[in-house]
Structure 1
Amino acid sequence: MQIDPGIAVVVTGGASGLGEATARALAAKSAKVAIFDMNEQRAEQVASELGGVACMVDVSDESSVEAGFAKAREAHGQERVLVNCAGVAPVGKLVRRDRETGAISHAPLAQFEKTLRINLIGTFLCAAKSAAGMMTLDPLDEHGERGAIVNTASVAAEDGQIGQVSYAASKAGVKGMTLPIARDLMGEGIRVNAILPGIFHTPMLAGLPEKAQAALAEAVPFPKRLGDPEEFAKLACFLIETGYMNGECVRLDGAIRMPPK
């Protein structure tokens, strides 16, 4: 599917990081971009720069997701592309022992549930609502293609580190459901793929000391640097535009395999 001028797209988490880079790449191809994000001010700023529309959306809440799609479709019409980038990355071991007191505690259930709701359930909700809308569209070509969905998992889905139990579980879920969703939608002409990014230079890492960022970059086999969000965006566009890519989970990580910590 070509990203033709005027095609409607939705990018969740599009106000920063990987999502923002993807929104900008799609807008550069003259797509009509709707940005779903909790940061309303930043979403409005980015959308204004791209000539798009900002929707304050909590992807973990069904009514909020429905309202976001309604606003996006009112502005741009039914989207043919969805890129799911919204997510959080909390840190916390399953259990820990206090070195001073010896007290043992476990990670809060609320944190685990919140991470799953945003990263996994949010991806599910947005994919389901978007696919249902795409099914109402006429096919674009003789093969019957109607739309494309790109999910964001993580290398943590395969190489979860110490303290990433919540994050790794949520991203493993995103990876695990990508092929079944692609199979669910194969009769409707909607392709579904996922990207598993490695260590990228995003706002999540920008707050780390330069020494820590340099150490992370050095751990990448080649090239020895952090990933550029624009590289993620290029891969997202490739997955959207390449009609034979379906049901795939693609690592984008400079060949890194994460150690335990």
Structure 2
Amino acid sequence: MQLGPDIAAVVTGGASGLGRATAQALIAAGCRVALFDRNADIGPGVAAEIGATFCHVDVTDQGSVDAGFAAARAANGQERVLVNCAGGSVGGPNKTVARSKEDGAIVPYPIDHYRATLELNLVGTFRCIVGAAAGMMTLPPTADGDRGAIVNTASVAGEEGQVGQISYASAKAGIIGMTLVVARDLAAEAIRCNTILPGIFDTPLLARAKPQVKAALGAMVPFPKRLGRADEYARLALEMIRNPYFNGEDVRLDGAIRMQPR
């Protein structure tokens, strides 16, 4: 797909981190971009700064997502590109079942945290895929023969979840598992779907970490020995969008790290 002024894109989680970097890269390529984000405090300012359209969207709410697509299309036209970066973990790290350090009591994982994490990451991603793909199906194919391209964000935790990451790892594994099926489901409509599995990236999730903590995390990476940068994610996302033969793939972007149990 040739990126340019005739291409509209939606980036979820677009007000910060990986989403913002990808939105900026798409805008630099000439695309019209809408940011879906539930952070209404920073979203409008980010959109104004980078030249995007801000849509206040909570991907866990169907009505919010539907309204977001309607607003994005009113501003920029029907999107051919969707990049799903919205996500995170609800609650702190918890084992499937643990023992209290205070009194040894058996403590089950809080199911509401598990369900909420899956709703945000897995269901939210699928909800946006369905909404975007339905719109893409109304478009004629591009010169490359595709109607649209979807890029999802999973995590290396989806393959090597660490102790206490059960809900996040489950959600990201689900995104990995849906990639090929979505690509096959939408193949007849010429809509492609790929997923990126980031390793340890320097994103707002690590903003509060001390410099020595970030340095230690970076030292775990075989090469290059540092945290990943958001622009590196964006570069891979754009290649997945541009390359018409890139379809149904889950690609690690992690500096060759393999996560240990702890």
Q: Smaller-chain TM-score range?
A: over 0.9
Give the drift of 1:51. Answer: 2.0
What aligned pairs does 1:59-138 form with structure 2 within 5 A after superposition?
A: 59-90=59-90, 91-138=93-140
Q: Please list every run of 5 or more consecutive structure 2 residues that lacks an aligned counterpart in the other structure.
A: none
1:211-246, CA deviations, whole angstroms, 9 ceiling, x for partnerless residues?
A: 111111010000000000000000000000011100
SS at match of 2:11: strand
Aligned length: 260
1: distance between equivalents of 2:44 and 2:67?
Answer: 16
SS at match of 1:25: helix
**TM-score, scaled relative to structure 1:** 0.98
Give the drift of 1:100. Answer: 2.2
RMSD over aligned Cα, in angstroms? 0.9
SS at match of 2:212: helix
Give the drift of 1:41. Answer: 2.3
Give the drift of 1:5. Answer: 2.0
Note if 1:49 corresponds to 2:53. no
2: distance between equivalents of 1:42 and 1:36?
Answer: 12
Percent of aligned pairs with the same residue? 59
Residue aligning to 1:213? 214
Contact 1:11 1:23 in 2 (8 A): yes
Residue aligning to 1:164? 165
2: distance between equivalents of 1:42 and 1:31?
Answer: 22
1: distance between equivalents of 2:187 and 2:6?
Answer: 25
1:140-186, CA deviations, whole angstroms, 9 ceiling, x for partnerless residues?
A: 12x53101000000000101000100000000000000000000000
Residue aligning to 1:226? 227
SS at match of 1:40: coil
2: distance between equivalents of 1:8 and 1:136?
Answer: 14
2: distance between equivalents of 1:158 and 1:65?
Answer: 28
Residue aligning to 1:256? 257
1:95-131, CA deviations, whole angstroms, 9 ceiling, x for partnerless residues?
A: 2211221111112111000000010000000000000
